[in-house]
């Protein structure tokens, strides 16, 4: 049976939230207004953690920061964001766990609600070939419109998008030895669908679910790598 290993990104492999960090990064460079956008950014992060924000509202809010440029037009800022903000915040233990699963021959996928424009650089940095992320709409000229394209990769959308991606490869989740590492109650639909859900430094609500269902709980918030037990 083929092994499928899924990693959430924000607050799981990464110390922080990519969307929030991206907005702070743009604010520092004067590309977003601090007074107007900072409070909205903080409120969105709070509502996401509480699980009260709608999927479409959350994803549209952050994708809107990309409007008006092409993907290539964002390239210098994307590269700077990865180098200056994201890479230093990736947990070494998490990176070691990714490598362990890859060395074991697993099909490894990074699945995140954050949009592809921000996260594909992170996936490449982690050495993860397969990325499922919220997609961004472009117009006929290739300019980002600030709207999402298709179903956002969030909450049940993560499960739906994964199943569609697997079907495109001639695979089915039910026929795989699947594992998902995630910190968030927002990922409960996909955690409930995989064979081995692992709560990683979970939020309060997910921690309660993990205890109630007997799911393993793992911490990656250290500078040392996890042992082989991380593979399960």
Q: Determine the average pLDDT of the residues in 90-115.
A: 97
Closest by CA position to 191, among listed 208, 176, 210 = 210
pLDDT tens-digit readout, 166-190: 999 999 999 999 999 999 999 999 9
Domain 3-231 has CATH 3.40.1050.10: no
Predicted confidence at residue 224, as pLDDT, reads 40
Please name every residue paired with 6 in a beta bridge, in sequence order, or none if there are none: 109, 180
Catalytic sites, residue numbers? 8, 10
Predicted confidence at residue 51, as pLDDT, reads 74
Listed by start position, the domains of the chain span 3-231
Q: How far apart are CA 66 and CA 149, in angstroms?
A: 13
Predicted confidence at residue 46, as pLDDT, reads 84
Res. 231: pLDDT tops 80 = no
pLDDT tens-digit readout, 198-215: 999 999 999 999 999 999
Mean pLDDT of the chain: 92
Whole-model pTM above 0.85?
yes
Res. 35: pLDDT tops 90 = no
pLDDT band at 154, cuts 50/70/90?
very high
Q: How far apart are CA 162 and CA 153, in angstroms?
A: 9
Q: How far apart are CA 199 and CA 183, in angstroms?
A: 6
């Amino acid at each position: 049976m083929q092994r499928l290993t899924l990693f959430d990104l924000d607050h799981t492999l990464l110390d922080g939230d990519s969307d929030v960090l991206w907005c702070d990064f743009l604010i520092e460079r004067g590309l977003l207004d601090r007074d107007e956008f900072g409070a909205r950014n903080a409120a969105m992060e709070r509502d996401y953690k509480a699980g009260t924000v709608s999927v479409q509202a959350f994803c549209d809010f952050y994708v809107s920061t990309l409007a008006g440029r092409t993907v290539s037009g964002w390239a210098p800022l994307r590269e700077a964001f990865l180098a200056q903000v994201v890479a230093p915040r990736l947990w070494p233990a998490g990176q070691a766990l990714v490598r362990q699963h890859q060395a074991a021959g697993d099909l490894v996928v990074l699945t995140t609600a954050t949009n592809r424009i921000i996260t594909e650089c992170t996936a490449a940095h982690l050495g993860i070939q397969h990325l499922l992320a919220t997609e961004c709409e472009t117009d006929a000229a290739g300019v980002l419109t600030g709207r999402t394209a298709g179903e956002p990769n969030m909450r049940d959308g993560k499960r739906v998008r994964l199943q569609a991606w697997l079907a495109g490869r001639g695979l089915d989740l039910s026929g795989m030895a699947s594992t998902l590492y995630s910190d968030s109650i927002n990922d409960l639909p996909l955690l409930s669908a995989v064979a081995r859900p692992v709560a990683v430094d979970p939020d309060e609500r997910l921690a309660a679910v993990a205890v109630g269902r007997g799911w393993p709980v793992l911490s990656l918030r250290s500078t040392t790598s996890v042992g082989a037990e991380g593979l399960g």
